[in-house]
Amino acid sequence: MDIGVYFFPTHYSIELTELATELEQRGFESLLTCEHTHIPVSRKTPFPGGGEVPKQYYHTYDPFVGLSFAAAVTKTLKIGTGICLVPQHDPFNLAKSVASVDRLSEGRFILGIGGGWNVDEMENHGVEYKNRFEVMRETILAAKQLWTQETG
């Protein structure tokens, strides 16, 4: 059985480089991080866990940047998104970010995807909440084309 760790990296948590090194030394298979581009100041969407949105949601690192640091200090630890909020991304930028981290980590990147729960956050990216899974599907199909159809 493989065991991985899901983590919310912020400027006040353990550094991703330190955590990644410790996980690899202890035989863990993977390190997955979350994604929230932002939490809107004015929200209509209640937090799924009830109560206020935990502060780490406001401060989490960009997963692709943070995971690149984790990859740089490890050799075998798989790294990935758990989840990447695909509907909030431009297909070209997402494809490039994913391919870059996967290449720099020598194929250790895992792309976990999801549609998200925050209506306001999604709307700030120009995506209607009710269409987020359709947008996610279209974005992933476009990214797969960019990854597999060499043009030059």
Residue 43: per-residue pLDDT: 82
Nearest C-alpha neighbor of 97 from the set 109, 106, 87: 109
User: In the block, which residue shows the tokens 């159809």?
Assistant: 149
Locate the domains of the chain by residue range.
4-148
Tell me the fold of 4-148. Answer: TIM Barrel (3.20.20)
User: In the block, which residue shows the tokens 């209640």?
Assistant: 46
Mean pLDDT value across residues 45-52: 91
Q: Residue 49 is which amino acid?
A: G
Q: What share of the chain in percent tops pLDDT 90?
A: 93
Mean pLDDT value across residues 42-57: 90
Q: What is the pTM of this model?
A: 0.93
> What is the C-alpha separation between 133 and 13, in angstroms, rounded?
31
pLDDT band at 42 (very low <50, low <70, confident <90, very high): confident
Q: Convert the pLDDT of each residue in 73-126 to its tens digit.
A: 999 999 999 999 999 999 999 999 999 999 999 999 999 999 999 999 999 999
Please determine, for residue 151, whether its predicted confidence score (pLDDT) is greater than 80: no
Mean pLDDT value across residues 39-65: 92
Secondary structure in 3-state letters for 18-81:
HHHHHHHHCCCCEEEECCCCCCCCCCCCCCCCCCCCCCHHHHCCCHHHHHHHHHHCCCCCEEEE
